[in-house]
Amino acid sequence: MKKIFYVIFLVLLTVSCNKPKEVALEFEKDPDSRIADTLSYVRKMLVESPYGWKGSLVTEYAGAYGFYMQFGKNDRVKMVADLDEETASKEKESTYRIRQIMTSTLSFDTYTYLTMLEDPNPATYNGQPGKGMGSDIEFNYIKNHGDTLFFEGRKFQKSMILVKATASESQQYLSNGFGKSRSQLLNYTDANPNLYLQIPSLESKISVSFSDESRTASLTYISGKEIVSKIGKYNFDLGGLNFAEPVVLGDLTIVKAKMQDGKFMLLDSSNKPYEIKSNAVPVLPITAFFGYRDTYNSIQIDGATLPGGINSAFNDIWAKQINTYNGWGVKMVSMTFRLVSSQKAKLEVWFFVNGYNYRVDVGYDYVMTDNIIKLSNEVQNDLGWIHSDIKSYFKNAEFKLDYVASSDPKVRGVGGLIKTNNPNSFFYGKLVKLSN
């Protein structure tokens, strides 16, 4: 019996002492080797592109920005960018690293044009205090597709895309290509007010506006009874601009814009162009934007001078107000008609005298039906600082709310309250949004 136990014991001991077999790896290489290969691959791609890379970077708090970069073997990178005239024309050099931080990461180590976007000091590049534009200087490598590298910011998870540049593109970028494209757009929008476009799949005209400050494009149209507004983040590119985040309009996906034969075009994903045109006044009705909770809630006259190029019977009444102030040694700051709530409106006047700003107002009840505003129940709180003819002008009045066109092409965004019993008489000023 004892012999049987000894045999069993020896068998178990032999099994337990056998060296375990090697476990086959799922991949051909171990994790450290794969990491090293990826780092080497990203670096090789960046360095060995003979004519550099054109880049597009999306930010958290603003739009997108364009870059042209040349990566050297010495861990130095040279770049120009579309931020402003200086960054577009002056090449800047800094250092970069490819390293492992959770994943393969491209880091820009020293101050460069990318860093301007994250600078928390608004004086650097108009970023938000303490936040900048919401940009990164460290980017995780995601993937490549052909000649394109895809990265993602480590903090804000916004995309940075690099595409291999050609010899011709490299030469253009280094010859102020960004600056020329930026000037082209700014000159066009300055000369052409109230931009719009039409596409077959939407009945409504599409109002188009570009903000160089925020690098966003706003495309607004009416669908049924709803106002639809699409915001596109764009960066400048050679000959135009690129929507870093494409904009979907109906059945189209808008990806670029450029000048073509003297016309400004939006291009869809199949490269089909759609012309952006200009109009004397905005193409969408003012009621699409004006209301106490909407884009605009006020019509404002800044200073003592009415917007130029416009004739109205109200002009003579306005002259009486200003002449009275001149006699008192008072300076007009602004006069504003404002919707305070869904039922209350005010005519507010700010004036400057003896080193201080003062405000007076006249309040009203109002009913707004479509674009007709009816005022009633005047409550004066002006202490005589608003001319009696102006108060009479608004008392129990009925107005048509509409845009007002000027003969001066530089005067834009003017709204008016047009007397329904006298179309030649209207109060007018710039459309603004004021908080209570």
CATH of domain 31-169: 2.40.128
Contact yes or no for 233/246 (Cβ under 8 A): no
What is the DSSP code (8-state) at residue 290? B
Kind and range of the H or E element at 322?
A: helix 314-328
Fold entry, domain 178-278: Lipocalin (2.40.128)
The pLDDT score that the predictor gives to residue 190 is 86
Half-sphere exposure of 114 (CA within 13 A, CB side): 27
Residue 374's contacts (CB-CB under 8 Å, 6 or more residues apart) are: 366, 367, 368, 397, 398, 399
Cα distances (Å, whole numbers) of residue 100 to 34, 97, 255: 11, 10, 33
Q: Which of 261, 264, 266 is nearest to 230 (CA)?
A: 266
Asked whether 420 and 398 are in contact (CB, 8 A), the reply is yes
* In contact, 69 and 92? CB cutoff 8 Å: no
Q: Which helix (H) or strand (E) holds 231?
A: strand 226-237
pLDDT at 360: 96
- Residue 27's pLDDT is 43
**pTM metric for this prediction:** 0.75
Return the closest-CA partner of residue 117 out of 161, 156, 73: 156
Give residue 254's pLDDT.
Answer: 95
| 46-69 as b/e: b if 16+ CB within 10 A | beebebbbbbbbbbbebbbbbbbb
Predicted pLDDT of residue 43 = 95
Q: What is the dihedral of CA 240, 244, 248, 253, to 10 degrees?
A: 60
β-bridge pairing 195-197 and 206-211:
antiparallel
pLDDT of residue 3: 44
CB-CB contact of 125 with 119 (8 Å): yes
pLDDT tens for 244-272 read 989 999 889 999 999 888 889 999 999 99
User: Residues 58, 150: contact at Cβ < 8 Å?
Assistant: no
Tokens encoding 81: 């960018």
Do 31-169 and 178-278 share a fold? yes
Q: What is the dihedral of CA 149, 231, 183, 127, to 10 degrees?
A: -80
Calculated CA dihedral for residues 427, 205, 219, 433, nearest 10 degrees: 10
Residues 6+ apart with CB under 8 A from 73: 47
Q: What is the CA radius of gyration of the chain?
A: 32
**Tokens 């050297």 correspond to what residue?**
72
pLDDT confidence of residue 102: 81
Any idea what DSSP says for residue 174? T
Question: Can you give the pLDDT at residue 32?
Answer: 60
**Where exactly are the structural domains of the chain?**
31-169, 178-278, 286-432
The CA distance from 163 to 184, in Å, is: 23
3-class SS of residue 316? helix
97-119 in b/e form (b: 16+ CB < 10 A) is ebeeeeebbbebeeebbbbbbbb
Q: What is Dmax (Cα atoms) for the chain?
A: 129
Q: Would you state the structure tokens that stand for residue 301, as one six-digit string?
A: 């006259």
CA distance 430 to 436: 18
Q: Could you say which residues of the chain have pLDDT below 70? A: 1-34, 436
pLDDT at 183: 94
Residue 47 has a pLDDT of 97
Query: Quick one: which H or E segment has residue 388?
Result: helix 388-394
Instruction: Give the tens place of pLDDT for each residue, 160-203.
Output: 999 999 999 999 999 999 999 999 999 998 888 889 999 988 88
